Amino acid sequence: MKISTTPLLEELKDRTGNHLQYVQTLLQKPENELNFRISTDSWSALECLEHLNRYGDFYIPEISHRISSSETSAQATFKPGILGNYFAKSMLPKEKLNKMKTLKAMNPIHSQLNKDVLNEFVKQQQLLLELLEKAQHIDLEKTKTAISISKLITLKLGDTFRFVIYHNARHIAQVERILNNI
């Protein structure tokens, strides 16, 4: 399966822009609503976003470094890797979500959180949009990034972008479900 590079990057920018706008609207909500959890072992809206921020703390510098050190030129198409495509597709929100265990370091449950989490998420999404712009000038297949669970495994940059942004979409949908239960 080959994907046209320009429409792929545009789709990822659109999704990121939507996530950014949605979280900016959450700044108007009271913190007690943002800290509401459906059950004692479920995440609050702020915990979902803190989880994303923790992944962003790894992936944004990793992507930035790989883009700035890339000596490749943009290609018209992107062919996802087998592993990267699997990871990316598994993150897309679906009607019946499959639950996934998160790494302990990425699990913010029962953290004391405030609206700083929202501001950090907004900042990270703005950086992600800048990186998506820069990515238009390099090869999304030949440029590789490490992944958060192992520096030994690398993914194509296009797959890494898809994974990160689809993972964001998954948890933004979770935030919406939580806030709809208040």
Residue 178: pLDDT band (50, 70, 90) is very high
> pLDDT (tens digit, 9 = 90+) per residue, 57-96?
999 999 999 999 999 999 999 999 999 999 999 999 887 6
- 3-180: what CATH class? mainly alpha
The helix/strand/coil state of 182 is coil
**Mean pLDDT in the chain?**
94
Domain-by-domain residue ranges, the chain? 3-180
CA distance 116 to 161: 24
> pLDDT (tens digit, 9 = 90+) per residue, 9-34?
999 999 999 999 999 999 999 999 99
99 bridge partner residues: none
Q: How far is CA 25 from CA 20, 119, 139, in A?
A: 9, 11, 35
Cβ density class 128-149: b for 16+ within 10 Å, e for less:
beebbeebeebbbbebbbbbbe
